[in-house]
Amino acid sequence: MQYRTLGRTGVQVSTLVLGAMNFGSNGRTTQDEATAIVDAALAAGINLIDTADRYSQGESEEMVGRAIAGRRDDIVLATKATLPMDEERNHQGSSRRWLVTALDNSLRRLGVEHVDLYQIHRWDPATSDEETLSALTDLQRAGKIRYFGSSTFPAYRIVQAQWAARENHLGRYVTEQPGYSILQRAIEAHVLPVTEQYGLGVLAWSPLASGWLSGAIREGREITTNRSTVLPERFDTTIPANRAKLDAVEQLAKVADDAGLTMIQLALGFVTAHPAVTSAIIGPRTMDHLHSQLAAADTVLSADVLDAIDSIVPPGVDLAAHEKHDTPPALLDPALRRR
C-alpha cells in the first residue's frame, strides 16, 4: 500500500480508501460481511474509512462503528452530512442548526467521540458559506472533528468557500471529494486545478464509474451490477451516452490486456496517477470485490498506458455529463434562471 499526505494536514493516508456506502441496505452488505471487509482492508494497509449519515439512512455508520470498535486510534475516520435524512425539512442542509445535530447523531452511531474528517456532502445553495464554516469551526474547536472538507463542490464554490474562510477568519475546507474516473474526467479542467492551488487533499469517489470499469460490463454481456438495478437509465445501452461508455470500455479493455492489467487496476491506477489526487475511494460490497480492488494498491501506470487512455477518453471530457452531481441549480431549475 502507498501513502500520501492528505492536503496540507500532515496526516498520512492510504492511496486506497475504504468507502462504506454499500454497508447496510444500500448494497445489502451485512454486519458480518462489513466487519470482514474492514478487517481485510486494515490488514492490507488501508487506514482511511469513509462513510456518511445518508448511507442506508445511518445504518452504514452503525456498521462501521461496530467493525472498528477497539481500534479507533489506528483509523482515519471520515463521514459526511447535508443530504436529507427523512421528510423533516430541516433534517438536511448545511445550516448550523442541522450540522450540530447531524454530527452528534453520527458520533453516536459510530460509537466515537470525534471524527477525523467531517465533510459537507453537497453544496447547499440555501446556506451561506459563513454560516456553514462558522459551525464547522466551532465543532472543530470543541474537539468533535479534527478537519472538515467538501464533497462534489463545483470549482467556483470551492474558491468561494476558501475566500469566505479567509475573509471571516474561520477554518477552511482542507479536502474535496469529487467523482472521478476514466469515463468522467471533466474535473481535470476546473476542480483539480483549484484543489492544487489551495492545497486541498482529494479523495476521488466512483473511480470504477459505478461498475462500468470493473471488468464485468462488456459488449454482449447482460449488465447485472448492483447499481444497474438502482439506476437502470445509466446502464441502458440504447442511450447514446451509455453507448459511448460501452465503446470506450471495449477499447480500454484492450489497453488493460496489452499492459497485463485488470480493468480495475487500470481504472484505479489512472485515478491515483493524477498529481492532484490523494486517494481513490473503493466501495466493495463483498470480499471478492475488495480483493480485486486491493490488487490495484501498488499499480503504477506507464506513460504509454496513460497516453493510450487519453486517446480513448480525452483529458477533461465527461462521457456522460448529465450524470454529474455538481451542476449549478440554475441549470436544473428554470425558475432560478428566468426570474
- Scanning 142-286, the segments in alpha helix (DSSP H) are 155-167, 191-198, 226-230, 240-259, 263-273
Residue 37, H or E segment = helix 31-43
Dump the DSSP string for 284-313. Answer: -SSHHHHHHHHTTTT----HHHHHHHHHHS
Point out the residues that are catalytic.
Answer: 55
- Helix axis angle, 263-273 to 287-294, nearest 10°: 60
CA atoms of 213 and 150, how far apart (whole Å): 25
**Closest by alpha carbon to 153, among 182, 174, 124, 128?**
124
CA atoms of 288 and 253, how far apart (whole Å): 20
**What SS3 class is residue 81?**
strand
**Closest by alpha carbon to 23, among 283, 289, 293, 282?**
283
Residue with cell 486491493: 294
Q: With b meaning 16 or more CB within 10 Å and e meaning fewer, what string describes 280-310? A: bbbbbbeeebbebbbebbebebeeebeebbe
Please state the φ and ψ torsions of residue 76, each to the nearest 5 degrees: -90, 115
What are the residues facing 333 on neighbouring strands?
none
**What SS3 class is residue 124?**
coil
